[in-house]
């Protein structure tokens, strides 16, 4: 192919630029297009804004427009370079593959028409038939263009769903993570196609003799050689993307741990005191407060590639089995993508935010799933209603409002309703997607102990309630109910012990932990001793129950 010319002010020669634009499509940056769409929505009145903003927009319209055009052009030029470079790399790579296979300008078109495995593969590699059929050079352009279009984020491929979601409460920049998911999964799929087809070339060429089942033109030796070459391309693509995707978070975590003197044990303990949707995420320890409790950033929300880490592990596990097929590799990719996506959407899907608030207010009797009280049993009925409505109403509060509220509280040094204070420097970072969260194992432990006490009550009821309904009870029924109740009680106490152990490792003293346990009504000395020492003591039926059973 022609050598790429990249002088200052000119990305490539005009002839080559027109070919790349045709096969790839330039100026399609996801972030650039999202910004342009957002500005258009505001200026066209699709997104409401204050009168002040309207006046500012009218006053500075021309200056903003000039700067916006300059910024957009600069961003587009920078964004085009990866596409141009990727197109050149893919074209050179596949030119070598096809040369090894024995494909050239004289036979490529005939191969495209074949119903052999080779013909099907070539048509999939160059899906735009009109471009592929013009010439061998155009065919190579289309192969490289197809890989670039699908493996590099491209706004044109966001799709109708992404366009609709832009107008939803999920945020204006939903297109970017959607494109990362699409292009990332396509990279994995490209690697799987290359690895599996390379294996197929070698297997069928060996089996058929002269490659007759693969093509009516190409010979056996070329196909075997190409099979090895194509597998190498696939493995390099898989490992390159996978290691980059998984390596960045690991490197960042290790770096932040070293800077802030955080051990693996302490970081692991932190996960027991973060929101449920952050427990499997990449947590960066960024500092400590005056008590020594960790501050962290959930990098999973800033890193759009986070959901693509699990597919890499799933594919590598399947390859390690030694008998992987294209079908099994694609199944592993699908499973990994589902796991990654479920983590990404966990804040919205683990329990619908609105539904969760409704359950807290009604079914959980005024206590949320983390043990925080929405309303008290002593409150008047109308007060309970007001507090429940306020709790549900908070689920409709935009994130930007909460963000602004925290910044305001930080400026004036005010505490929120839970007594937490925010630091301005930490909250300002949230404007750039890196919100610093202060862990508070002391307060969180109070909620966990409340949940622990309720859990023990439920576990005890599993034994007594079914047996006190009346009627004759068999001895084996008593034994079975006791065994089941104790098994559940053991799990409840084990979780509490793990929480207490994690709190210790994060710096909470035994004295403070024991004090909090003693303040919880319903916990006896044996329960407290068990979870403090990590030694399980089986429960005993109370005197009333024993007398009832004897009757």
Where residue 247 falls among pLDDT bands split at 50, 70, 90?
confident
Please check whether residue 120 is in contact with residue 143, taking contact to mean a CB–CB distance below 8 angstroms. Answer: no
Query: What is the per-residue pLDDT across 277-302, written as a single tens digit (0 to 9) for each?
Result: 787 788 999 999 889 999 998 887 77
Phi-psi region of 439 (alpha: psi -120 to 50; beta: other; left: phi over 0): beta
pLDDT of 375 strictly over 70: no
| Range among 15-29, 264-278, 380-394 with highest mean pLDDT value | 264-278
Range scoring the smallest mean pLDDT among 12-26, 91-105, 303-317, 483-497: 12-26
Question: Minimal CA–CA distance to 152: which of 83, 238, 231?
Answer: 83
pLDDT of 217 strictly over 80: no
Token pair for 536: 């399980």
Q: What is the structure's pLDDT at 140? A: 94
Please check whether residue 112 is in contact with residue 56, taking contact to mean a CB–CB distance below 8 angstroms. Answer: no
Question: Minimal CA–CA distance to 174: which of 188, 190, 160, 163?
Answer: 163
The C-alpha atoms of residue 191 and residue 329 are separated, in whole angstroms, by 10
**All residues at 6 or more sequence positions from 273 whose CB lies less than 8 Å from its CB, including other chains:** 439, 440, 441, 444, 502, 503, 506
The radius of gyration of the chain's CA atoms, rounded to the nearest angstrom, is 31
- Hey, what long-range contacts does 234-237 have (CB within 8 A, 24 or more apart)? 234/190, 234/191, 234/192, 234/193, 234/194, 234/195, 234/196, 234/198, 235/191, 235/195, 237/187, 237/190, 237/191, 237/194
| Range among 180-184, 372-376, 488-492 with highest mean pLDDT value | 488-492
Mean pLDDT of 152-167: 61
Token pair for 375: 């309303």
Where residue 115 falls among pLDDT bands split at 50, 70, 90?
confident
The C-alpha atoms of residue 551 and residue 546 are separated, in whole angstroms, by 9
206 versus 180: the higher-pLDDT residue is: 180
Please check whether residue 309 is in contact with residue 325, taking contact to mean a CB–CB distance below 8 angstroms. Answer: no
Please check whether residue 188 is in contact with residue 240, taking contact to mean a CB–CB distance below 8 angstroms. Answer: no
pLDDT of 350 strictly over 60: no
pLDDT of 36 strictly over 50: no
Secondary element (H or E) of residue 288: strand 283-288
Query: What is the per-residue pLDDT across 474-529, written as a single tens digit (0 to 9) for each?
Result: 777 777 888 888 899 999 999 999 999 999 999 999 999 999 999 988 888 888 99
| Range among 154-158, 160-164, 343-347, 379-383 with highest mean pLDDT value | 154-158
The C-alpha atoms of residue 493 and residue 456 are separated, in whole angstroms, by 8
Q: What is the structure's pLDDT at 325? A: 86
Please check whether residue 391 is in contact with residue 353, taking contact to mean a CB–CB distance below 8 angstroms. Answer: no
């Amino acid at each position: 192919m022609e050598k790429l010319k990249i002088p200052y002010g000119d990305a490539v020669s005009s002839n080559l630029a027109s070919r790349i634009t045709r096969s790839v499509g330039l100026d399609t940056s996801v972030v650039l297009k999202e910004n342009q769409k957002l500005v258009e929505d505001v200026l066209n009145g699709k997104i409401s804004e204050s009168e002040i903003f309207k006046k500012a927009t009218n006053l500075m319209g021309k200056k903003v427009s000039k700067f916006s055009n300059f910024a957009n052009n600069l961003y587009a030029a920078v964004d085009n370079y990866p596409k141009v470079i990727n197109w050149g790399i893919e074209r050179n790579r596949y030119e070598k593959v096809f040369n090894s296979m024995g494909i050239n300008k004289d036979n490529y078109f005939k191969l495209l028409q074949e119903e052999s495995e080779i013909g099907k593969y070539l048509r999939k590699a160059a899906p735009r038939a009109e471009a592929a059929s013009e010439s061998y050079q155009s065919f190579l352009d289309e192969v490289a263009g197809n890989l670039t279009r699908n493996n590099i984020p491209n706004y044109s491929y966001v799709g109708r769903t992404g366009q609709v979601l832009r107008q939803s409460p999920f945020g204006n920049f939903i297109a970017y993570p959607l494109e990362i998911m699409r292009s990332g999964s396509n990279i994995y799929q490209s690697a799987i196609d290359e690895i599996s087809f390379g294996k197929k070339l070698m297997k069928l060429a060996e089996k058929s003799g002269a490659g007759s089942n693969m093509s009516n033109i190409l010979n056996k030796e070329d196909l075997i050689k190409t099979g090895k070459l194509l597998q190498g391309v696939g493995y390099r693509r898989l490992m390159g993307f996978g290691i980059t995707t998984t390596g960045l978070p690991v490197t960042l975590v290790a770096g932040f741990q070293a800077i802030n003197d955080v051990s693996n044990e302490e970081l692991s303990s932190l996960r027991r005191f973060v929101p449920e949707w952050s427990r499997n995420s990449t947590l960066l320890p960024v500092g400590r407060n005056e008590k020594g409790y960790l501050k962290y950033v959930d990098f999973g929300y800033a890193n759009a590639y986070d959901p693509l880490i699990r597919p890499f592990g799933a594919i590598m596990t399947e390859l390690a089995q030694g008998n992987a097929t294209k079908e099994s590799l694609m199944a592993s990719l699908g499973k990994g993508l589902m796991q990654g996506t479920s983590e990404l959407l966990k804040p919205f899907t683990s329990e619908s935010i609105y539904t969760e608030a409704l359950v807290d207010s009604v079914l959980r009797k005024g206590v949320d799933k983390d043990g925080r009280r929405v309303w008290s049993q002593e409150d008047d009925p109308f007060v309970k209603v007001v507090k429940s409505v306020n709790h549900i109403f908070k689920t409709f509060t935009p994130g930007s409002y909460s963000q602004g509220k925290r910044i305001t509280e930080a400026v004036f040094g005010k505490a929120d309703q839970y007594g937490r204070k925010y630091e301005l420097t930490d909250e300002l970072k949230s404007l750039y997607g890196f919100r610093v969260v202060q862990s508070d194992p002391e307060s969180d432990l109070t909620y966990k102990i409340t949940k622990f006490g309720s859990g023990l009550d439920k576990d005890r009821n599993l034994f007594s309630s079914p047996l006190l309904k009346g009627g004759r009870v068999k001895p084996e029924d008593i034994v079975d109910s006791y065994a089941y109740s104790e098994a559940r009680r053991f799990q409840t106490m084990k979780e509490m012990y793990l929480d207490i152990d994690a709190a210790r490792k994060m710096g909470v003293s035994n004295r403070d932990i024991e004090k909090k346990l003693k303040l919880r009504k319903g916990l006896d000395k044996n329960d407290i001793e068990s979870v403090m020492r990590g030694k399980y003591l089986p429960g005993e039926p109370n005197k009333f129950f024993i007398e009832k059973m004897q009757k």
